Amino acid sequence: MSPGALWIITMSGICVVIQSSEVHLRNMEHFITAVTHLEDLNPGISPLALVTSLNKIADRSVNVTLDFMGSSNNDDDIHCRNDSFITEQLNTNHNLSHFLKKLIHHFITDDHEERGVVLTPDGTTVALAPLLLGLQYGLQANKDSNQPHGFYLLSLAKYLATSLLQFENATPSERFSLDGCWDSVSAPMVFTLSGMPSLATDALVHGGMDGAILGKHLSVVNCSEVNLSTLLKSYYLRTVEELDHVSDTHLRGRYRRKNFKKITNSSLLQEKVAEALHSHPQKGNLVVESLIEKGIKEFMPRYMECPAIIPRCMWGAALPRVPLSPLSPPLPFLYIHHTEIPSKPCRNLQMCSKNMRAMQHFHQKGRGWFDIGYSFVVGSDGYIYEGRGWTSVGAHTKGRNTVGYGVAFIGNYTAHLPSQYDMELLHHHLVKCGVSNGFLQKNFTILGHRQVVATTKCPGDSLYSEITTWEHYKDTDPFR
């Protein structure tokens, strides 16, 4: 879908250049562009005033002072009046107000379409409401010089609390939704959940994590030097190549799960969710404590141990030629491969997706297999790509496909290694996710492809030498 015409809108001193809301793409670049226009054309708007106004126009108005202090002082009243004035200016133009509400206001339709979410360049989907609320908490904490313990988790905790309350008798998959898929990666407009919707979707969790990370950062920096659009560009729009030259990755969206884990723990998140749930007087303390404990026990491994996996629909997978045979996990083996061809690492969603489609085409047309052979594929962009997944028999390791999963690194690793981060995604995160969810046996064995099939050097000399140092590696094949 091609972008629509540009409109120039002037409202009481606020001038905004924006695309027609009817065709505006739902990606992070377009949202940041709107923020940039607001800043450039209205230099008097502080980051806190801008974020607060966006929250209000998207019907997510929150008195963050009450969350911090329980009361409001005169300075806060003045600030609120300024926010109201800015909000009134924004609301004077129906088109701009409509655009912002459509982009930010979060809800799920009866057709399982999730609104208020945007696609980031790395392939993850983020809800803007918890992100903006997290930014507001951080900026308000900085302004008030008052930072309650774990305040940066408040935004995510509110959404988790609501979901736990709504789905107290539900299964984990109902409390925390599966990911979804966009109608188009290049021109995203519609995002549809792949499972039954909950009130804590993956996109809301991503937004809550990002809001916590950035909110905590904003609470301690010099806000007079903060440019909101610059911060968002740095966090979301930097490429892997640019990140190769950055030693500090704590403010990079690509590494949100790793960085969020550094600033929270089960007890702290549980405390914040408890604060949110205690606002519902119909729930007794014992019920609340049980809900929280159960919910956090499900949440932490799902998002702290499991890596972000790009689903098949996001890389444009063709349908399997015939239904795939189901596996009967937990399985005892994990087989490590490299693709060799493509020989070069993929560095972004577009290239990795192209490589995945090429491999699937070769496996289906050239090899006559039903689908891409690997269970999972590790890109060089900080993500793992879903192949046949955890529940289908693969075609990766001859004679062993029913007893193990095959994971391949894109590239040829005969003479050099994948990045440390990409290797950690597999042997520190994917395997833990597999064990905790009952797909891999706790005492599983890691083997290189060459240990099972004598005619191959896969996964390359360098990578094979590396995996011999990994926990669970065995130097002999137990089946031989």
Give me the torsion for CA of 361, 363, 369, 370, rounded to 10°: -40
Comparing 229 with 102, the larger pLDDT belongs to 229
Comparing 113 with 15, the larger pLDDT belongs to 113
Percentage of the chain with pLDDT > 70?
80
| pLDDT score of 7 | 43
* Residues 93-131: b if buried by 16+ CB within 10 A, e if exposed: beebbebbeebbebebeeeebbbbbbbbbbbbbbbbbbb
Least confident of 25-29, 42-46, 315-319, 460-464: 42-46
Write out pLDDT tens, residues 110-139. 999 999 999 999 999 999 999 999 999 999
For every residue of 414-460, DSSP letters joined together read SSS---HHHHHIIIIIIHHHHHHTTSEEEEEEEEEHHHH-TT--TT-
Write out pLDDT tens, residues 45-96. 889 989 988 888 766 555 665 565 444 444 454 445 445 545 555 555 566 6
Phi, psi angle pair for 314, to nearest 5°: -80, -25
Mean pLDDT confidence for 405-416: 97
Write out pLDDT tens, residues 431-446. 999 998 899 999 999 9
Paired with 107 in beta bridges are 115
Nearest to 227 by CA among 50, 107, 68: 50
Nearest to 338 by CA among 218, 457, 217, 167: 457
Least confident of 93-107, 196-210, 287-301, 426-440: 93-107
Mean pLDDT confidence for 308-329: 94
Predicted model pTM: 0.88
Angle between helices 74-91 and 47-57 (to 10 degrees): 60
CA distances from 300 to 9, 226, 271, 476 (A): 45, 32, 14, 35
Phi, psi angle pair for 102, to nearest 5°: -65, -35
Least confident of 22-31, 146-155, 174-183, 453-462: 174-183
Least confident of 11-15, 54-58, 204-208, 372-376: 11-15
| Preceding peptide of 323 cis, ω within 30° | no
Paired with 310 in beta bridges are 385
Coil, helix or strand for 186?
coil
> What domains are there in the chain, each with its CATH number?
6-305 (no CATH), 312-467 (3.40.80.10)
Least confident of 29-38, 255-264, 407-416: 29-38
